[in-house]
Amino acid sequence: MMNKTYYTVFSLAATLFLTATTSTKAQSADAPERLPEVKITGQLAEETPVGPYEQPEWTTHRRFSTTRVYLQRAPWEVEFEQWWRGRFKRDGTSGHLFQEELSVGLPYRAQLDLYENWVSDDHSHMRHHDVATELRWAPADWGKIPLNPTLYGEWKFVDKTQGPDVFELKVLLGEELTPRWHWGLNAIYEQEVGGSRTTEWAFSQGVSYTLIDEKLSAGVEMKFTHETAVGTRSNPEIKFVIGPSFQWRPWSWMHLDIVPLLGTTGDSPRVEAYAVLGIDLWSKDKHHGFVPTSTRSQ
């Protein structure tokens, strides 16, 4: 009787084991084979999509001094830039602009910039010229519309001793042409609201090539300007400047742009040079939220 009981228990256990094994094999046969993960390499870090708008990383810093591309700041990020622009004229005189700029990212693909501008020339000390506000807005995330158009408006509140106020409208375009090659173009309209009511039509363009990812890039910038004033509408000033453009990024949160442009027409300055130092003051860190960028590990 005992042997019969053992035999029954053994038979039941064997049946359960065979059933479980058959079921497992059937599930394995039905399940698709899992392939090993493939890691994509070769993409530049500065061309990797970042932020809520999926824009390439290089667009989050000003690449060209004369040409803006898309938005530089994600919502509530803050950047500071110090500008110098020198115009060295054909008569031997020169004029200098010093500009402090604060950029703040806003929701819904918008950005607000605030400027403080100072000027000097060969015959005067530094003097305050104007305070300006700029707002730009992109209709879509990066890559959704060809050339990534962005609308731009600016109003300069000019010191009354320096002339009338000025407003400026722009259409900003930009694109990655191929890996390492980046491009931007701006169409510009500027109008004085008083005085000689100077009107300016212009376009600027820049193209750059990345020499060292996130560190060094070089390219070419150019700007064409058609300028008239009351009483001289039929005799415009035509200016065209062109020259090399360099950007150095010693750290991910700092960039330095050096751009010497040469004048090619009689109305153009002999040389128009720019130096722009930009520092991220407050940016979105994926691990710690919004933090001062100087405290982030590099």
What are the backbone angles phi and psi of residue 178, rounded to the nearest 5°?
-150, 170
| pLDDT tens track for 5-37 | 444 444 544 444 444 444 444 444 444 555 454
What's the pLDDT band for 285 if we cut at 50, 70, 90? low
Judged by DSSP in three states, 38 sits in coil
Q: How far is CA 196 from CA 67, 96, 165, 255, in A?
A: 27, 22, 11, 38
Mean pLDDT (the chain) is 87
Provide the β-strand partners of residue 151. Answer: 137, 171
| pLDDT tens track for 96-150 | 999 999 999 999 999 999 999 999 988 778 999 999 999 999 999 999 999 999 9
Report the percentage of the chain scoring pLDDT > 70: 81
| pLDDT tens track for 157-214 | 999 999 999 999 999 999 999 999 999 999 999 999 999 999 999 999 999 999 999 9
Spelled out in words, what is the top-level CATH class assigned to the domain 49-291?
Answer: mainly beta
